[in-house]
Structure 1
């Protein structure tokens, strides 16, 4: 059935509408798709931005983390370096440097302040005046300096150990100088010994062994010359300030004047009469110095000669060390022990004595024995016997030592016999024709009969040995015992060989057993010989030690000797300051005394003035015990300021006898001339 136009038209309209609807739906879908696409793009962009932000943040964090890591690594490296540095520190060496710096700086301040503020007597003020900031600062600077030196020379030696040794010795020496307190000295000896042990144990002295032998010997010779010069200079100043006395300088000065004129050892001031000195002490050895005095007739000649004699013993000692194959360190140490020994140097400051020949002659005698040089040995034996009558005791005891130690025993027996016979003959002649042997003065504490002589002493020793021992060691002699043996580390007593004690015997018999107080004093001549024997005995006993660390022994001994030297000898250098401060006054005294004619006889009322006018034929020392002798000399010298009545009486006597004042006025002395004196030259 056919459709109508309206239906067809309607269908076409519906179809068109449907197509439009479909197209509209497609457009909507496309729009929606575009919107969705745009949204997706926006979201994607947003996500991309977010990712970028996250990535940027992550990059920033990574950068920061990298920097932190680098910083941490640097810190770790620094810490590791510090740890490694701390681990690499040689703590003993560092501690030694620190202590050394402290010692050296303290020594500087003690030296700087000691004259005005004594660190012992004024210890509180010393602490208050100590500049703490400077003190700490100097220690720090010195520590850095020593550290640099240590690092630079560590392959050759241990600077830290050496600086500790130098610091301890410097502090000890500076503080002890002129202190004269030996108990303080013992404390500083221990301090120095500890420092010396560390220095030795850590190879601080290693460099000494690298020195050529010739250099070591040259050093010792220089030390010897310097010590001789030191003694000579200060003993001369002692004489210039009128500190030398008639006993024992004036008598020897006059004796040499006579020897130069007549070749006879005559004096007038020793016993206030014309007398040969050999009547008092038989000492032909004096003639060895006569050529020097003849050329240079001065008091200084005798003082210089004595200084040289005392120091000269270091040369044979050095040769003994060489003969025993001692190391450089051992040789130098024993030379220091001898040259700075207070019982070798100290007696030189008590004017002048024949005993000063003993150290050098004994050392040469020991050297000849060691080297088995027979002719040289007997030459020095004779020279020793010529020193003094009691020097035969040293020779006899050394002869007994040789008897048990030499291969040819008869030499020891011969030396003992000759010296014993010599002693008996000389003392007998002195008793018969001279003033006799002063046994009662020396050993009066061991004699019940003062006229019996040495047999009486032997009797006391044999029958009462307990009393004898109490005379050797008591409160008075203990300090002297320490002074002699502490610097030697008591080595003379440390031996299993009884023959070695023959070398110690002079110390026992001539010093400790004596009742004469000056025999137990290192400032007097009675220790010249005994100390030399003790030093040699210490050397031979040391050589017997087998320990690998044995070299510390002479090091300790040398350190102890230096401390003792500073304590006991330092004060003797005051003579220079006294002379410098009073030079004009001393020159006025010299001028007044030198105005007395050389041919005039002089009586002097002061022991210290006589030495400056002793070089003449007649000079007498007047004292209260010699008032029985009439004053008939051409001149009389009196030191003013005396309060003794007997001097006032004597002045009245000489004035009543017509003596008149002579020369310029002086506040120290008065000089009178006899009305009968007509000479003058």
Structure 2
């Protein structure tokens, strides 16, 4: 009778349902562990019988039932259901192989499943959740740990992105060159940003960058900038934590929201397209929010001034928050603080626009031409005032992309930013409209830097709205936000980190060889390079991107040929040959051409290149080397500059550009750029002097003097054996 009384409750209908759902999740996990491949494909279960799923389901059902019998007073079923969902979700999210749109939809559905499971979990275990407590001393250390993890994830991802040559000129190459010149002259000069010598402040007024300059002075590396950005973004955990303390959150709530800060995808993801000044906007806005709530007037003024220095449009974010303060402020002091912020931000914005329009390239209002009556910022304001219906239409003009963007920002926060009935707080959602209204597509992509300000406002709304919730709803909304952030962090962040590290380790040797190859180019030389090469060459005064500078007019032209020559590279290579450039190297990764006007030592560079370990030359280089190897070391040679390294052991060696007489045993032409005027004149001398052509193809031309005392036929037979000379059959 005692056992009957003990067992009956654990087999109630609701507990059986929970146990069945938990067993279902666990069974799905077992199937995933037993079978590789795309679980979203209909063929995934091909050749699988019912045996494994049924046995796994029944086994877990019996196991959870036994656990419930041993612990009858515990809610083991609800814990098992949540644990099973977390476990199988982790596996699903690590093996998403569907289209991008399907992945997003899958994540949204998965968050919905979490919301349902958590509703039951909270209703069953609210007393346990309420009774949980943490020592106050633990909370700040947990917040610091979350900040460190956040910084580490961002730094690892972005540093390995750079090391794998995945960072392009726009915009990381620009900022590397800018910091190099700031360290040299204190001026933010670039040449690759607008294909001319120009201050970056002529494009964006961002004096905030000088805060990173001391660290770059100490460690002048591109990696310093990536790590610096990571630390700046992660530092926002400090004002975020202070806000939670100001709002009176318990220690466990502060820990939970610190974890949320770490997991929200828009915090980390916005750094993954390399360094941008926008990264400062995120922590500085959080400092402004805290200083206002704490009524620290000097600090509020300080952080407001700093925030406006981030970028010309940063003042817009400050103005929006100031408007909120003016409307919601409950005291005269708070309203005056809001008025002061608004006045300063508006005046600074007017100054910044005037400065860029007067001394720079002009304010980038073109991104809002779709909602401007005359293409100006004033036109945007006029349209919003006079035709709000058009504004509302433009918010979702891009359809799925707009909807996805809204959900990507709000779902990871469990929709807490919307959980309010206070009108004044809706003002804090205005920054999100700024991205939705533009027709600039990148502003709706989380990987870019346009979401830091929005994320700061959404986190503020999350804290304020959660503070107003009470009872069970409060705990439920927090858990939903954590679960949603976990889902999207697993989809958007973890694969990015792992992928960057795997890419580097899988091809580390080639990346290091490419880096060593580029390192031989002198720092004082001007370069024109491919977009993924230029960031590794940008620490110099003059650097250009071949995509925007299709000219052979720099000391060095470096083409990225890892995927072969494209039309742009072929065109620029032809210009190099036409302008008399010499080919220093053509490896399987890059082709390096040197200007005839460069006053450096070509042979020294060639020697430095020969010391690069593991370098893999192109087929053309190998063919040229094999052909030239037949020329005896004791023969005198007259050749062109790019071919001189092949004759380093020949005692008598001349350059055609300096020795314009055909009087050596061999005259060797570099024909990769065809004959130029100089080589054509020498070739005519060879013909007139009775020289015999040993070989002439698209790479080299070799002419042998009639006075050479060696055996011409022996050389020719060697080339025939190598396959470089074809013997035509007799007719």
TM-score range, shorter chain: 0.7 to 0.9
2:717 is aligned to none
Distance 1:117 1:504 in 2: 39
Match of 2:348 among 410, 417, 422: 422
1:293 to partner: Cα distance:
1.2
Distance 1:208 1:230 in 2: 33
Tell me: CA distance 1:418–1:654, structure 2 relative to 1, closer, same or farther (3 Å). Answer: same
TM-score (ref. length: structure 1)? 0.81
Distance 1:249 1:558 in 2: 33
SS at match of 1:672: strand
SS at match of 1:677: coil
Q: Give unmatched runs, 5+ long, in structure 2.
A: 606-731
1:446 is aligned to 371
2:395 is aligned to 472
Once the two structures are overlaid, the 10-residue window that deviates more, 258-267 or 335-344, is 335-344
SS at match of 1:526: coil
Distance 1:173 1:81 in 2: 41
Matched-pair contact (CA < 8 Å) for 1:149–1:159: no
Distance 2:565 2:372 in 1: 38
2:491 is aligned to 567
Match of 2:123 among 190, 195, 201: 201
Q: Give unmatched runs, 5+ long, in structure 1.
A: 1-79
Distance 2:368 2:215 in 1: 36
Match of 1:315 among 215, 238, 242: 238
Distance 1:594 1:106 in 2: 52
Distance 1:370 1:503 in 2: 15
1:398 to partner: Cα distance:
0.7
SS at match of 1:603: strand
> After superposition, what is the alpha-carbon deviation per residue over 1:101-140, rounded to whole angstroms, capped at 9, x for unaligned?
54345335536645x3434464333956994477347636
1:165 is aligned to 82
SS at match of 2:557: strand
SS at match of 2:539: coil
Distance 1:214 1:103 in 2: 37
Tell me: CA distance 1:108–1:217, structure 2 relative to 1, closer, same or farther (3 Å). Answer: farther
Matched-pair contact (CA < 8 Å) for 1:178–1:569: no
> After superposition, what is the alpha-carbon deviation per residue over 1:269-298, rounded to whole angstroms, capped at 9, x for unaligned?
111211111111111111111111111111
Tell me: CA distance 1:235–1:646, structure 2 relative to 1, closer, same or farther (3 Å). Answer: closer
The answer to whether the aligner puts 1:609 opposite 2:538 as a matched pair is no
1:679 to partner: Cα distance:
3.0
1:656 is aligned to 578
Distance 2:214 2:76 in 1: 50
Tell me: CA distance 1:178–1:378, structure 2 relative to 1, closer, same or farther (3 Å). Answer: farther
SS at match of 2:311: coil
SS at match of 1:436: coil
1:365 is aligned to 288
RMSD value over aligned CA atoms? 2.6
1:302 is aligned to 225
Matched-pair contact (CA < 8 Å) for 2:6–2:69: no
Match of 2:476 among 552, 563, 578: 552
> After superposition, what is the alpha-carbon deviation per residue over 1:116-171, rounded to whole angstroms, capped at 9, x for unaligned?
343446433395699447734763686378558957xx6xx855544432322232
Query: Structure 1 stretches (4+) deviating beyond 6 angstroms?
Result: none
1:435 is aligned to 361
SS at match of 2:212: helix
SS at match of 1:636: strand
Matched-pair contact (CA < 8 Å) for 1:511–1:519: yes
The answer to whether the aligner puts 1:502 opposite 2:427 as a matched pair is yes
Distance 1:235 1:202 in 2: 43
1:494 to partner: Cα distance:
3.7
SS at match of 2:544: strand
Is the radius of gyration larger for structure 1 or structure 2? 1
1:530 to partner: Cα distance:
0.7
Distance 1:351 1:617 in 2: 21
Structure of higher RCO (CA pairs closer than 8 Å, 6+ residues apart): 1
2:113 is aligned to 191
1:98 to partner: Cα distance:
5.5
> After superposition, what is the alpha-carbon deviation per residue over 1:287-341, rounded to whole angstroms, capped at 9, x for unaligned?
1111111111111111111112222222322221222122344333322332211
Match of 2:168 among 219, 240, 245: 245
Structure with greater proportional helix content: 1
Distance 1:457 1:598 in 2: 46
Match of 2:461 among 525, 529, 537: 537
1:20 is aligned to none
Once the two structures are superposed, the pairs formed by residues 339-350 of structure 1 within 5 Å of their partners are: 339-350=262-273
Matched-pair contact (CA < 8 Å) for 1:260–1:293: yes
Distance 1:503 1:454 in 2: 21
Matched-pair contact (CA < 8 Å) for 2:150–2:234: yes
Matched-pair contact (CA < 8 Å) for 1:236–1:300: yes
2:690 is aligned to none
2:386 is aligned to 463
Distance 2:517 2:46 in 1: 46
1:174 is aligned to 91
Match of 2:418 among 465, 468, 493: 493
Distance 1:507 1:143 in 2: 46
